[in-house]
Structure 1
């Protein structure tokens, strides 16, 4: 059995309990990511009221919105490098950071403290953005890999954001004091994060890391047996299994695809996070909704259904057509919102449908492809996959951080219509780049999508010592 045949057994394994457990274990961390990144936009007015702050300076507002994103960029780079030493080794540490930082938010006494805590929270989020899709992708079979990542990352992120809005509105309905509501909402993020620490520590190392990075035959046999439900006694020797190719070879070979993955996530987050960070406080006011009701409607009526559409078609139509469709739909919805701002203000339903439409198309396309971490996983070989994933995540967080500082200025100086028109233009550019540069990866082995094995090769690119 050569390396190709070994991974074919994993790729052709039927979706089973192991895959389901992997989705749940990774997905609960992503639920926390969505919850934590969305909740601050909902409770921000209550935070300021509690601290006796009438308004924030432009810098303070941007730091509060962007501190977690800056921390996520740092966490992604650090854990991308660490995960090259072992995926499981650091899995669980990410949600531990998330749990502790989420809880710490409940006890801050001023805005600077909240900014600092959310920066630490961001480090855990960045780590999870690297580790969760990485582990899920390397465990998944090729036929269901797209929907597995879309469920475990795209869908659960939206559900987490929805739950933040529901909790906020329930607390308000029961007349909980405002000063307590925001502390409960921010602190609750510790619960889903803490719930999967044990499960993550028990999840086995991924088969591709064991094979290609460590050449661990015994560990690999055990994981294959868990994934496929059968034995794995016939395995090549270590020299035929471990990848001895230099990492620089893969960086040079895959530089265009890696660059494409980074740019697309960067552009998507600029567009998407303008709504996530400022929609509840800026746009909702213009169409007559409270922050909580705006967030709930956006997530429950548009984002989550968009994720469901992506799950249904991502392994049928493919990543590329869905992403193009999503970016074009985002541009169209945002463009119409900008053009018909007056009507959207006087008739709130129009504003809801137009802005909600961009949320829907966002999750149908790039929210379930680029922003799920799928491209970094599928376009990078095992030897550099975690580092590439860290860089792509950091690229997205850089775009989101840029939004935190630039979008409010555009909004303030040029007005809402111009700011949203600018976002629509970026979405069009991203659609064109997807169409031109992004290769299709649906239902193909990771060794093929990442060019770890060329289509013309019969086995993985390996270096076998003389005499073996």
Structure 2
């Protein structure tokens, strides 16, 4: 028999605190996207300052690898701590690490090429640890506060803050570059003024402000009732905490017998855990791995899109500020036209048609789009990149977000017992970020560029077809292994 406080959470009406929790939990994802997507335009500035044109592929790959490696570690460590000592106790720590690391990125020491990149890489690694820790904690906290009718929409809304982080990153980059360009008297296509070294640092540090503003509210959040009642075994405290934040009277949720029956006692690394939850953990981890291979491989398109829609095949020369501005503008266009609409559609449909159907739909259409780009790439798109290519490129982001990129964040927060929920979400996310390493670093090395900056067309074609095949594998994993969690309480999902 379910505890009254948990039943009340599952059946509660949508209230002000739910929306407040979305903002508080989502600000970590906002900061994550800001810091991830500000790097491509900033690399144009850094390249003009410390390199003759742009950082070599080795430097770019190292920066990506360090941030993703930190994310893997953060998801595993903070995910486990969230189950061992409580979600709230480590939630503020993850956010504070993100804030301090963002500021540290801007204060990367020295002014020589190697010293700056080493320092920046170190702080990007720490930033990745904080971002990684935020993933399992945000998803778990939102799932445990939400009611079962709209739980998917609430978790998806938290994740959708990434889209607004991309827009904020691009907007800040464009504004800062415009201000610095107007205030500089020496900027030209052949000369980058010394104050550009301040511009990229300022853009990085500004990303810490939204996260810092929500730190107080994170520390004021009570522990989730499910953790307090089911893990700490303090049902009375769980009821008192929920009375403070939700419109529920204590008399409605107070238990006649405050101690609930003891749950099955088995450890994370046990045969019983594998028998009960091994399939679910495999499904969540494999789907997240596959979608991140594809999602982070979008780096493959950057040079082609830049030359086709910004640099006009090299006929138009741009200074460092203009290059960073145009790359940021392109990112903002993609986010507004495809990324954010994908999130919005998911929020609307996630509790109507279910997680599994959306994930299947996303993988299926992503595979079609990648095949549509990849198969004729060498014969058509390589020689005639146009708005048709741009449209298909945007579709990959739409169906990633109205699909597996969002659902892989939601499902692990709903499938596992309270005492393993944050840990298992962290494991699935860490496996996903290993896929991101393969996607962003491995494919970046695989695609060789010619002297004009274009990727090798044959390698590009093969890469795109492989990505379409990866999406088909994701579709199969989802169909055969992923369990639907829509409309059930978290405890029902666990038992089933």
- Whether TM-score is above 0.5 comes out as yes
Correspondence for 1:97: 97
CA distance in 1, matches of 2:161, 2:234: 33
Matches within 5 A, 1:273-292: 273-275=296-298, 277=299, 279-281=301-303, 283-288=305-310, 290-292=326-328
Note the alpha carbon deviations across 1:190-218, whole angstroms, 9 max, x for none: 11111111000001100110011011133
By how many angstroms is 1:375 displaced?
A: 1.7
Q: Report if aligned partners of 1:344, 1:351 keep a CA contact under 8 Å in 2.
A: no
CA distance in 2, matches of 1:163, 1:278: 23
CA distance in 2, matches of 1:195, 1:281: 36
Corresponding residue SS for 1:444: coil
Q: Is 1:240 aligned to 2:260, yes or no?
A: yes
Q: Is 1:162 aligned to 2:167, yes or no?
A: yes
Q: Is 1:220 aligned to 2:238, yes or no?
A: yes
By how many angstroms is 1:383 displaced?
A: 1.6
By how many angstroms is 1:435 displaced?
A: 1.4
Q: Is 1:428 aligned to 2:472, yes or no?
A: yes
Correspondence for 2:216: 198
Provide closer, same or farther for how the CA distance between residues 345 and 149 of structure 1 changes in structure 2, counting only shifts above 3 A: farther
Correspondence for 1:134: 140
Matches within 5 A, 1:439-450: 439-450=483-494
1:339 corresponds, among 375, 379, 389, to: 375
Structure 2 spans left out of the alignment, 5+ residues? 111-115, 182-194, 312-325, 449-455
Corresponding residue SS for 2:329: helix
The total of aligned residue pairs comes to 447
Corresponding residue SS for 1:367: helix
Normalising by structure 1, what TM-score? 0.91
Matches within 5 A, 1:256-271: 256-271=279-294
CA distance in 1, matches of 2:346, 2:163: 13
| Bigger shift: residues 256-265 or 421-430 | 421-430
Q: Report if aligned partners of 2:285, 2:427 keep a CA contact under 8 Å in 1.
A: yes
CA distance in 2, matches of 1:428, 1:227: 44
| Bigger shift: residues 442-451 or 255-264 | 442-451
Which structure would you say has the larger Rg?
A: 2
By how many angstroms is 1:345 displaced?
A: 5.4
By how many angstroms is 1:409 displaced?
A: 2.2
Normalising by structure 2, what TM-score? 0.86
Correspondence for 1:173: 178
Matches within 5 A, 1:362-441: 362-370=400-408, 373-412=409-448, 414-441=458-485
Q: Is 1:254 aligned to 2:298, yes or no?
A: no
Matches within 5 A, 1:8-87: 8-52=7-51, 54-84=53-83, 85-87=85-87
By how many angstroms is 1:271 displaced?
A: 0.4
Structure 1 spans left out of the alignment, 5+ residues? 455-468
Correspondence for 1:326: 362
For the aligned residue pairs, the C-alpha RMSD in angstroms reads 2.0
CA distance in 1, matches of 2:120, 2:422: 30
| Bigger shift: residues 226-235 or 418-427 | 226-235
By how many angstroms is 1:279 displaced?
A: 4.2
CA distance in 1, matches of 2:21, 2:383: 44
CA distance in 1, matches of 2:486, 2:208: 35
CA distance in 2, matches of 1:407, 1:437: 28
Corresponding residue SS for 2:353: coil
Provide closer, same or farther for how the CA distance between residues 86 and 236 of structure 1 changes in structure 2, counting only shifts above 3 A: farther
Note the alpha carbon deviations across 1:305-340, whole angstroms, 9 max, x for none: 011110110000000111111111111122212234
CA distance in 1, matches of 2:274, 2:255: 28
By how many angstroms is 1:343 displaced?
A: 3.8
Provide closer, same or farther for how the CA distance between residues 294 and 7 of structure 1 changes in structure 2, counting only shifts above 3 A: same
By how many angstroms is 1:184 displaced?
A: 2.0
